[in-house]
Amino acid sequence: MKQIEVKEASFAYMQDDDANRIALNGVSLEIEQGDYIAILGPNGSGKSTLAKLLNNIELPTKGDVFVFGINTKNEDGFWDIRSKCACVFQNPDNQIVGTTVEEDIAFGPENLGIPNPELRQIVDASMKYVGLEKYATKQTANLSGGQKQKLAIAGALAMNPSIIIMDESTSMLDPNSRDEVLTLVEKLRHEKQITVITITHDMYEASRCDRVYVMYHGEIKKVGKPSSIFLERDKMLELGLDCPSHINLAHRIAKITHSKLTQEDLVSEETCAKRIIEMVKNAEFDDVKSYLKPDKNIQEVEPSKTIMQIENLSYSYDGDFKAIEDVSLDVREGEILAIIGQSGCGKTTLITHLNALIRPQEGSVTLICSNMNLSTAEKKHIKLLRQEVGLVFQYPEYQLFEETVYKDVAFGIKKMKLEPEEERRRVLEAIKLVGLKEDILEGSPFELSGGQKRRVALAGVLVMRPKVLVLDEPASGLDPRGRQGMLRIIESLKATGVTIILVSHYMDEVAEYADRICCMKDGKVIMLGSSTEIFEDIDKVEQMGIKVSRLNMFMRLMLKYNSSINPNVRSVEDAVRQLINTKGVELC
Amino acid sequence: MLKDISLGRYYSGNSIFHELDPRIKVVMFFTYMVTIFTVNKWQAMVLFSVITIAQIVIAKLPLKVIISSIMPVVPIALFIALLNMLTIREGRTLFEWNIIVITLGGTRKAILMASRLILLIISTSVLLTLTTTPLKLSDALEKLFAPLKVIKMPVHEMAMMMSIALRFIPTLVEETDRIMKAQVSRGADYDTGTIIARTKGYITVIIPLFISAFKRAEELATAMDARCYRGGEGRTKLNPLHLTSKDWIIGAILLVLAALVLVLQVINV
């Protein structure tokens, strides 16, 4: 008997206007006890709906779902299925019921009617397994994002499940927490033989699974081992997905060396590294320039073009703990400056200073282009400042409120009392900058997709024509295509001369685009320099507790086979150059 | 700023009050509430204040926490005091200018009303919100109102709703803060302009907040479903409530203290 069997299952969400939205269309799959499965697909492809069918939260409108041999339509088996098939969802806040850690973990087994002292034992054991025993009676609201997701896993574990479904559970976490959660889930699978089904946008996570299902428009388009799925890169791109960076590198090298990759080459990072080395070794690079793509145009802007100066800035919310301490930083005209650091390193506190949402307690922030000191500026000037320094917070789609997209975008310039034509011109300009079409302007912002909402929110800031644009994790939670789109917008904004401050906890995301990088830790700037300088010293960055990109990790792995490689690369294209370099080919 | 609202903010500790059975705490909270609203003599008020201060000390609550829980009601208390002072005309006149007349009686009443409100908030914080986790609190209410199940009152559901509401207060407060900052960044202004303009301005916060709250509610419902929640029937408790003799004794002491205040109120000193 298969643990999970889905037979030709379809599901449609009921909608007001009778035209039901089909989320799943004739999906079939089989999963065995102990499998490690990834479900990939762009947003809206039906992944989460599939998870809801497995967990018996929804019933298929057509077809059948069997879990442990029980049809989910069979009401007698209802609770058996739910209790044995646990879910960890995306948003850490929206799945915590309990006020304290132990009360929350107990929620599931309490519902199952497990009596004390057994209940206490289960709660303590689960708490210990995920490493939260120190926080037993602490408030759940005060945990970090990563701790909250571990709590959710402990809550699932307390129900002694045979299956755990991770529904984009790592997408809102910083890289350290993400890796911790990933390790925890893999440990569960090895030690407790729990089936793990992970729904993810992270291709690297998928590459660690036994089997991958690729969904698109409610259908399963591809099934197979990660090595065979990622072998067809073009197909993945067509489906709005991508490959892990090391596999992208392998594909690039295969292309320029006219070699062929096989499934065996992609089985693990090791095999992939060996194959890349082999391909480079056997190739002759006679006409290098023709197949090298130009690198992103990154360069260090000269210090004389400083547009914003931050000097010895410190800030404390409670007068005791310093959220940022003695931060000095210059922002130069037209550059992309990345600010990198783990959650809680003070990034958000720093950027809220930049448009005077909070005023400096110690030190100063000066906007040089309009000669304004943010510590002393008057209120009416601050309003002008907020037009010049646009601040886009994380998940900006949550700030939309107007009836139409037009009104929402125009909100920022309403008080300027512009001529209607001028106002319209600026709204159109902003909408175009974020890659949206004019025809959405009269519709409600709430009917757009998640990615579109985020673009509208961004347009709502761009409409003020800021000189400096601060973006806090602009791509977080987006699928690969949405992510690419967002990065393209940033590039095109840079081309129009806007100075961009990009805040992220992922080195992967900023490495390719940033001209300069500022690394923060515990409220302090620990390193600041051009992208090239930072990457030359990436080991030091890592020692400071900032995760290097996965591509960097992979390049280090390759060092084992060819010690002349420079592993400190910013992008796949950069890695290609480094590899060709090892052959002593002149690159201009 | 917004984060400091103490409603639903549990302050973890290990005092007698933290360990006291929440049912006793709820009953005592009502007793003290009735007491404070019955009392109007200064002697009784002083005794009540002394008892409250003693409670703070015994509960080992830092002054900072207490002050931050009072702060939100200070404007309301001042407003009520001012209203009383200006409208009540009894006894000797202390001050007169135009239509403003301040009398001794009015001032007394103003001080009484303001201190009542402040004491009520402190007493609520010490007895309930700061020392009791919301889940324990809703457990207590569920148990205390259990008899109402006979007349088909959804007692468990109401208790659950309450505890979830309390659990989400800090989350939603943080969210409000975030949304306000985002809107201010694109030109919203909540501090200047006419009252109408300011009230209108809050629409930019309220709508996104509601939309996000509904989304959270939906996701939470799914998460609770996935964790086999099916109402109160057959549910067990990790920390079931047990009334020990210690609880009874502390309860009795608290009751006697409240009674003392009432005695002071009634007898002529």
Mean pLDDT, rounded, for A70-86: 88
A103, amino acid identity: E
Tokens of B206: 């309220």
The residues near A337 (Cβ < 8 Å, ≥ 6 apart) are: A331, A499, A500, A501, A502, A514, A515, A516, A517, A518
A417: left (phi over 0), alpha (psi -120 to 50) or beta: left
Q: Which residues of B154-185 are buried (b: 16+ CB within 10 A; e: fewer)?
A: ebbeebbebbbebbbbbbbbebbebbbbbbbb
User: Which residues on A lie below 8 Å from B185 (Cβ)?
Assistant: 355, 357, 386, 390-393, 461
**Complete DSSP assignment for A240-265:** T----HHHHHHHHHHHHTT----GGG
Global model pTM greater than 0.90: no
Q: Which residues pair with A503 in a beta bridge?
A: A339, A472
* B11 vs A426, residue with greater confidence: A426
Residue with tokens 């299902």: A213
3-state secondary structure at position A438: helix
**DSSP class of residue A427?**
H
Q: How far is B65 from chain A (nearest CA, A)?
A: 12
Residue with tokens 């059975």: B21
Determine whether the interchain pair B238/A110 forms a contact, defined as Cβ–Cβ distance below 8 Å.
Answer: yes
CB proximity under 8 Å: A 70-109 to B: 79, 82-83, 86-87, 89, 91, 93-100, 102-103, 106-109
Q: Is residue A502 packed enough to be buried (19+ CB in 10 Å), middle (13-18) or exposed (0-12)?
A: buried
**B62 prior amide bond cis, ω within 30:** no
CB proximity under 8 Å: A 200-239 to B: none
Provide the greatest CA pair distance for chain B.
Answer: 69
Helix axes A550-559, A245-256, angle to 10 degrees: 60
Q: Give percent of chain A above pLDDT 90.
A: 66
Other C-beta atoms closer than 10 Å to the C-beta of A523 total 22
Determine whether the interchain pair B225/A387 forms a contact, defined as Cβ–Cβ distance below 8 Å.
Answer: no
Query: What confidence tens digit (pLDDT) does each residue in A482-505 have?
Result: 888 999 999 999 999 999 999 998
Query: What confidence tens digit (pLDDT) does each residue in B46-105 have?
Result: 999 999 999 999 999 998 888 888 888 899 899 999 988 888 888 888 888 888 888 888
The predicted structure's pLDDT at residue A131: 93
B178 and A393 Cβ atoms separated by less than 8 Å: yes
The residues near B210 (Cβ < 8 Å, ≥ 6 apart) are: none
A451 near B CB under 8 A: no
Q: How far is A452 from chain B (nearest CA, A)?
A: 16
**A117 prior amide bond cis, ω within 30:** yes
The predicted structure's pLDDT at residue A100: 86
Q: Tell whether the model's pLDDT for residue B5 goes beyond 50.
A: no
Whole-number Cα distances in Å, A403 to A322, A409, B91: 41, 11, 57
The predicted structure's pLDDT at residue A35: 94
Query: What confidence tens digit (pLDDT) does each residue in A9-47 have?
Result: 999 987 766 567 788 999 999 999 999 999 999 988 999
Provide the greatest CA pair distance for chain A.
Answer: 75
Q: How far is A346 from chain B (nearest CA, A)?
A: 15
3-state secondary structure at position A378: coil
Distance CA A92, CA A145 (A): 6
Q: Which residue in A327, A115, A544 sits closest to A534, CA to CA?
A: A544
The residues near A142 (Cβ < 8 Å, ≥ 6 apart) are: none
Q: Which residue from B183, B216, B235 is facing A111, i.e. has the nearest CB?
A: B235
User: Which residues on B lie below 8 Å from A80 (Cβ)?
Assistant: none
Determine whether the interchain pair A91/B219 forms a contact, defined as Cβ–Cβ distance below 8 Å.
Answer: yes
The predicted structure's pLDDT at residue A17: 61
Distance CA B243, CA B251 (A): 11
Query: What confidence tens digit (pLDDT) does each residue in B131-176 have?
Result: 887 778 888 888 899 898 888 888 888 888 888 887 888 889 989 9
**How many CB pairs below 8 A link A and B?**
155
Strands B93-97 and B100-103: antiparallel
Distance CA A93, CA A96 (A): 6
Distance CA A302, CA A424 (A): 36
Determine whether the interchain pair A103/B179 forms a contact, defined as Cβ–Cβ distance below 8 Å.
Answer: no
Mean pLDDT, rounded, for B195-199: 81
Other C-beta atoms closer than 10 Å to the C-beta of A10 total 18
3-state secondary structure at position A327: strand
Mean pLDDT, rounded, for A207-223: 94
Q: Which residue in A361, A245, A254, A371 sits closest to A309, CA to CA?
A: A371
Determine whether the interchain pair A94/B185 forms a contact, defined as Cβ–Cβ distance below 8 Å.
Answer: no
